[in-house]
């Protein structure tokens, strides 16, 4: 990319921000959705904002459906592409009539609709709904009914029971609509079904814990299955334990041959920040202009905009100055 005379100035601003952000104490942008707000991240009409193998995923009558009609060789996922999640509360309704599925969160995208990371499990059977599973990693972390703490080396300690697995299964309506709620705050993870706590985990395992990543739904390998989701709502929560969150907003590429290309700069800056102050800072990058994620700024402590000026600036477009001012 060509070097421009204003490059050093931009770099100086970025470096200044990298130094100043960890020093912020008690400073946070106010959410325009409010703490009580639960914005929808599924429009009920299309797969807009979601990506997966369209042989298996579709939308009908306001419901997101994942279905296989022949045995599936490899587990596949529908990935939310409008953002990532860190500290959050997710609520949705689900119905599973056969097979095994799950909600991946703070997970990693392996490509080819393959995902690894935390999973809130659900099934048509009677054993696994509500557990914490780590896809592609530790397997079952917390069974249904357990309250577990993992130490820094990953050694598990059962603190107490939230109920017996059999009693908790009685809360779940087999083959009918149920409500799933996930609350992830720092290293503390809770799974609820129909308002009842199913499992609770405090993950201190330094080599395995995850504080941010993608959100996705699973279609499990094996025999034909069907799972349905609706009323998918996400509320971002303020970060805890002294951590701060920075939103990096990259404008659209402009000028000949992508001379002004902002996505790469934001991604590079994100990597630098993660290496230098990663434990105290969560970063999220939104590329190609204004975020489509309706929750993008809801738990941000600071926003960095890296883009062209003038009419092409993402804040100038659609009169978003007022929206930024309201944060």
Write down all domains in the chain, each with its CATH number in brackets: 7-28+239-326 (no CATH), 50-236 (2.60.120.560)
pLDDT for res 256: 60
Angle between helices 263-277 and 7-20 (to 10 degrees): 30
Closest-CA residue to 178 (of 187, 170, 167, 186)? 170
Along the 327 residues of the chain, how does pLDDT read in single tens digits? 333 434 444 444 444 454 444 444 444 444 433 334 589 999 999 999 999 999 999 999 999 999 999 999 999 999 999 999 999 999 999 999 999 999 999 999 999 999 999 999 999 999 999 999 999 999 999 999 999 999 999 999 998 889 999 999 999 999 999 999 999 999 999 999 999 999 999 999 999 999 999 999 999 999 999 999 999 999 999 998 889 999 999 887 766 665 667 888 899 889 999 888 877 899 999 988 899 999 999 999 999 888 877 676 777 777 788 877 777
- What pLDDT is recorded for position 36? 47
Neighbours of 284 (CB within 10 A): 22
**102-113 CB burial, b ≥16 within 10 A, e <16:** bbbbbbebeeeb
Residue 109 Cα distances to 164, 282, 318, angstroms: 34, 18, 32
pLDDT given for residue 259 in this prediction: 60
CA 64 to chain centroid: 18
Alpha helices by DSSP H, listed for the chain, are: 7-20, 165-169, 263-277, 321-326
């Amino acid at each position: 990319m060509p070097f421009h005379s204003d490059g050093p100035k931009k770099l100086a601003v970025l470096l200044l921000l990298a130094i100043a952000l960890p020093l912020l104490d008690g400073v946070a942008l106010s959410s325009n959705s409010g703490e009580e707000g639960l914005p929808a991240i599924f429009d009920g009409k299309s797969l807009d904002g979601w990506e997966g193998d369209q042989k298996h995923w579709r939308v009908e009558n306001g419901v997101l459906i994942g279905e296989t009609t022949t045995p599936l060789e490899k587990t596949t996922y529908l990935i939310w592409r409008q953002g990532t999640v860190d500290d959050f509360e997710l609520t949705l309704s689900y119905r599973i009539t056969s097979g095994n599925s799950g909600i991946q969160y703070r997970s990693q995208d392996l490509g080819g609709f393959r995902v690894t990371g935390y999973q809130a499990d659900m099934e048509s059977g009677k054993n696994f709904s509500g557990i914490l599973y780590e896809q592609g990693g530790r397997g079952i972390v917390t069974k249904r009914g357990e309250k577990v703490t993992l130490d820094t080396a990953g050694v598990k300690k059962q603190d107490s029971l939230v109920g017996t697995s059999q009693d908790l299964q009685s809360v779940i309506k087999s083959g009918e609509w149920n409500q799933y709620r996930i609350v992830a705050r720092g290293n503390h993870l809770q799974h609820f079904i129909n308002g009842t706590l199913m499992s609770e985990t405090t993950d201190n395992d330094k080599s395995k814990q995850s504080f941010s990543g993608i959100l996705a739904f699973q279609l499990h390998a094996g025999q034909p299955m069907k799972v349905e989701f609706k009323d998918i709502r996400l509320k971002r929560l303020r970060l805890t334990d002294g951590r701060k969150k920075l939103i990096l907003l990259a404008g659209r590429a402009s000028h000949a041959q992508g001379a002004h290309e902002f996505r790469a700069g934001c991604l590079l800056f994100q990597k630098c920040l993660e290496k230098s102050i990663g434990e105290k800072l969560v970063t999220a990058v939104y590329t190609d202009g204004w975020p489509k994620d309706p929750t993008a700024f809801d738990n941000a402590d600071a926003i960095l905009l890296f883009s062209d000026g003038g009419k092409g600036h993402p804040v100038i477009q659609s009169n978003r100055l007022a929206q930024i001012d309201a944060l």
